[in-house]
């Protein structure tokens, strides 16, 4: 039997797939008839309230005297603190902020200088994986998809934990801190295994350094010479901070709550969240942005010619260019209206990095597309809440300037977001809610059972 025989789409499989399509299509009008909140959103696109949290808040509207919601500049708060102020604070003082934000998200307070020092030491202590894990788990059957490789490794770590199923908070905190520390290693080592076995690249494995920050360790582990500039590490750190948490309603964090509510273990919960984040509608958007800009560069001769750039962006909107979906990737957000605060914060740092890397012209292209696209989209489509660049618009550009391979874009997102996932898991356990079980209404009519020998033959 050939190796590809298991993945071959046979006529029998095609026939069964057609039965799925024919017999599983639900009439769209029924969603309106039964007032189904598809995607757990109301008619205005706002999320349906399914829980309470103290971990983070997204603000995209103000309320006037009559109680009407008015779009406003976006704000993101971690435990009540404005993320822009948090970043401004640690950046001015020359600190790395991801570890500080992780402490805040998980434990609900800003750490003191001594608490942060001890916390960093604890993360540094946990920043290792079991002996021979790289050889026996990561290097065997390396996956071309790094998110899947990470998920497999996380599940395997369950086997190394003699208290894997214990749900007391002390144990879950311990597991969470270990996974937060280990995920950068799992991501980078999985990529290096893939590159070595599938692309013929050199295999260079560096040991993590406990005294380095998460951002520094990523660059240290990934680069063959382990060298990086201070600005590179600081901007990657800010990217991790901005991606660490985003309200309890985003798909992967909601997955964390749903799976945690079933009473399962930490490793299974994080793997479920990784599976959610892997989806291109969630964690893979920045890859699409980079691909779109590569297509723009190939088809627009003068990046500062507004007419030429507008014409091509309009072609993308009209489903004539790029991937013909009609989407200008990186523009718009499910929650934010006038602006995404993460994009606003990021943009200034991106400009500095573009100067260091000699890629100012590309930064100007991004700025031009951001400005023109918002006008085109608003003109072309009825946008009830405004459209602006989201964090994915610039993050892919940053990662490309940091020479991060595209295979690691979504894993880096996971390295950051696991802090939020673990915080929400602990919050769900502490508040001991019911198992999350939303309702689905059956719309299949009753049918009379017919004996198998009396059924009609169908194509």
Q: Return the ∠ at Cα 233 (arms to 227 and 177), rounded to 5°.
A: 110
Q: 361: which residues sit within 8 A by CB, 6+ positions away?
A: 303
340 tagged catalytic: no
242/217 Cα distance (integer angstroms)? 18
Q: What DSSP line would sit under 85-110, residue for residue?
A: HHHHHHHHTT---HHHHHHHHHHSSP
The owner of tokens 């013929």 is 200
CB neighbour burial string for 372-398, b if at least 16 within 10 angstroms, e if fewer: bbbebbeeeeeeebbbbbbbbbbbbbb
What region, left, alpha or beta, does residue 47 occupy, with left being phi > 0 and alpha being psi -120 to 50 degrees? beta
Coil/strand/helix, residue 430: helix
Number of CB atoms found within 10 A of residue 457's CB: 4
Task: Answer for the pair 34, 441: CB distance below 8 angstroms, yes or no.
Answer: yes
333 tagged catalytic: yes
* Class of residue 221 by CB neighbours under 10 A (exposed 0-12, middle 13-18, buried 19+): buried
| Phi and psi, residue 75, nearest 5° | -135, 145
Q: Which residue in the list 246, 340, 392, 424 is annotated as catalytic? A: 392
Q: Which residue in the list 333, 424, 445, 451 is annotated as catalytic? A: 333
Catalytic residues: 333, 392
């Amino acid at each position: 039997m050939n190796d590809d025989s298991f993945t071959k789409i046979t006529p029998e499989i095609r026939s069964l797939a057609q039965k799925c399509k024919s017999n599983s299509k639900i009439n769209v009008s029924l969603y309106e008839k039964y007032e189904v909140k598809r995607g757990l959103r109301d008619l205005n696109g706002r999320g349906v309230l399914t829980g309470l949290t103290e971990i983070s808040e997204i603000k995209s509207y103000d309320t006037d005297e009559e109680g009407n919601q008015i779009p406003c500049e976006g704000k993101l708060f971690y435990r009540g603190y404005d993320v822009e102020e948090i970043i401004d604070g640690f950046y001015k003082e020359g600190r790395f902020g991801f570890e500080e934000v992780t402490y805040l998200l998980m434990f609900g307070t800003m750490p003191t200088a001594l608490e942060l020092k001890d916390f960093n030491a604890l993360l540094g202590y946990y920043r290792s994986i079991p002996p021979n894990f790289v050889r026996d788990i990561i290097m065997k059957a390396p996956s071309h998809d790094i998110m899947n490789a990470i998920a497999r490794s996380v599940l395997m770590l369950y086997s190394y934990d003699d208290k894997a199923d214990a749900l007391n908070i002390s144990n879950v905190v311990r597991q969470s801190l270990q996974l937060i520390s280990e995920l950068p290693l799992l991501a980078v080592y999985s990529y290096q295994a893939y590159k070595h076995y599938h692309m013929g690249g050199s295999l260079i494995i560096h040991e993590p350094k406990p005294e380095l920050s998460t951002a520094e360790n990523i660059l240290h582990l990934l680069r063959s010479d382990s060298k990086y500039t201070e600005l590179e590490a600081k901007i990657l750190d800010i990217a991790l901070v901005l991606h660490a948490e985003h309200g309890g309603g985003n798909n992967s964090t909601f997955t964390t709550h749903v799976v945690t509510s079933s009473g399962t273990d930490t490793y299974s919960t994080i793997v479920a969240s990784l599976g959610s984040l892997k989806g291109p509608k969630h964690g893979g958007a920045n890859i699409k942005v980079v691909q779109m800009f590569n297509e723009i560069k190939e088809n627009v001769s003068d990046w500062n010619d507004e007419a030429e750039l507008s014409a091509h962006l309009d072609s993308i909107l009209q489903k004539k260019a790029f991937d013909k979906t009609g989407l200008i990737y990186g523009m718009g957000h499910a929650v934010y209206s006038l602006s995404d605060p993460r994009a606003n914060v990021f943009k200034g740092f991106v400009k500095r990095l573009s100067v260091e890397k000699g890629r100012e012209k590309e930064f100007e292209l991004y700025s031009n597309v951001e400005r023109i696209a918002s006008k085109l989209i608003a003109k072309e489509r009825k946008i009830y809440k405004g459209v602006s660049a989201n964090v994915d618009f610039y993050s892919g550009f940053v990662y490309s300037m940091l020479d991060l391979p595209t295979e690691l874009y979504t894993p880096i997102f996971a390295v950051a977001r696991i802090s939020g996932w673990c915080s929400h898991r602990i919050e769900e356990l502490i508040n001991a809610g019911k198992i999350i079980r939303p309702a689905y209404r059956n719309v299949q009519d009753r049918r009379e059972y017919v004996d198998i020998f009396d059924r009609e033959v169908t194509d």
